Amino acid sequence: MKIPAYVVGGALIAYGAYGLASHVDLIGWAIWFGGAVLVHDLLFAPAVLLAGAVVTHRRTRAALVVAGAVTLVALPMVLGLGKRADNPSILPLPYGRNLLIVLAVIAVAALLRRKRPR
């Protein structure tokens, strides 16, 4: 039963590699991908490990991890990376305010979550 899944998975990987090689600047993609790996390995993973070591409350720790991940994904938009004055349709929303709203929702969800009776 595993063989058909391997064949389908291999075909999807080959299709993705073809699309990447034929439609994307490979040097630029490699720099972006390498940067993402470095941000994860040098910033996000150590922060998660530090939060796990310092914060003992599980809900608080989980909320910090989720908030960190959301912030890491939203940071390029909040900083306006890629925004151009000649094209106002690029990054048209108030991303900083929206990030604060999402972080507030995460905090409220962590505070309001009830413990399950055992």
pLDDT tens digits, 28-38: 889 988 998 99
Instruction: Give the Cα-Cα-Cα angle 50, 37, 31 (nearest 5 degrees).
Output: 145
Query: Tens of pLDDT along 18-60?
Result: 998 898 888 988 998 899 899 889 988 898 888 888 988 888 8
Sorted by where each begins, the domain ranges of the chain are 25-112
pTM: predicted TM-score of the whole model, two decimal places: 0.66
CB-based burial of residue 34 (10 Å sphere; 0-12 exposed, 13-18 middle, 19+ buried)?
A: exposed
Percentage of the chain with pLDDT > 90?
50
Residue 51: per-residue pLDDT? 83
Predicted pLDDT of residue 116: 62
Q: Which amino acid is at 7?
A: V
Residues 82, 76 contacting (CB under 8 angstroms): yes
